[in-house]
Amino acid sequence: MKKFIQTLLVASLFIATIVNAEVDKSALKKQLQKNMPALTIDEISPSAINGLYEVMAGANIFYVSADGRYLIQGSMFDLMNKKDLTEEKLAIAKAALINSVAKDEMIIFKAPKEKYVINIFTDIDCGYCRKLHSEIDQYMAAGITVQYLFFPRAGKDSDSYKKAVSVWCADDRNAALTAAKSNSNPPPEKTCKNPVDAHMALGDELGVRGTPMMITPKGTIYPGYMPAKKLVEALSLESK
């Protein structure tokens, strides 16, 4: 019902602000930045509705009127084709963000016979993160390469954050991560140049609210724990 109401709001705005000619995007951008100085705008383009413009800001999409006065936050649906137009664009933006992370800025458990890749934001002290990692061999045996990014939910300077940094600074990061998640032999506290803050900032931009959070190279998000068999089914459907 909420999404349907959002659709009606978009339609109402269209009726009230319809504009046949494309506006000056530069002027519209300046107006938006004046009203929302903290917003970093990546792109402005006409939406599927005349007179309504799509604003890309990282992994967020907004819709604004041609004069920059009215803003709508929500999903736009094509009822005729039964498509969520907003989600399609968001997936592209999320894919660009996650795929921009260099391989050497993640801890990777590579499948011997790789079929799929999944990126996972993880917290060393999260119960379901530990459950997932205890089954890491099952994921790899199923052809899933797991690429870990850190997202200590308790924030910077928490014990979870310090553990993440210590794991990254260990001589064998994969072994250190496994040990830390199992509590069998936590790595000694270390500090070094690390990507943990960058991981957390990216997680915030992608809307991570809990861990584990999985995101595919195509930008599809699977929140929470998912066993290897179900994840393979999901990734297989996405690849079709």
Q: Are residues 228 and 161 in the same domain?
A: yes
Q: Are residues 80 and 127 in the same domain?
A: no
Digits of tens for pLDDT over the chain (240 positions)? 555 445 444 444 444 444 434 568 888 998 898 888 888 899 999 999 998 999 999 889 999 999 889 999 999 999 999 999 999 899 999 999 999 999 999 999 999 999 999 999 999 999 999 999 999 999 999 999 999 999 999 999 899 999 999 999 999 999 999 999 998 777 889 999 999 999 999 999 999 999 999 999 999 999 999 999 999 999 999 987
| CATH number assigned to the domain comprising residue 53 | 3.10.450.70
Q: Which of 153, 169, 171, 204 is catalytic?
A: 153
Q: Are residues 78 and 113 in the same domain?
A: no
Q: Are residues 116 and 187 in the same domain?
A: yes
| CATH number assigned to the domain comprising residue 133 | 3.40.30.10
Q: Pick the last residue of a domain from 73, 98, 123.
A: 98
Q: Are residues 75 and 114 in the same domain?
A: no
The DSSP element (H or E) to which 140 belongs, if any, is: helix 136-141
Q: Which residues constitute the domain of residue 161?
A: 103-239
Q: Do the Cβ atoms of 190 and 163 come closer than 8 Å?
A: no
Q: Are residues 49 and 119 in the same domain?
A: no
- For the question of residue 169 being annotated catalytic, the response is no
CA angle 199, 204, 209 (to 5 degrees): 110
**What is this structure's pTM?**
0.81
Q: Which of 67, 123, 169, 192 is catalytic?
A: 123
Q: Are residues 58 and 152 in the same domain?
A: no
Q: Which of 129, 130, 159, 204 is catalytic?
A: 129
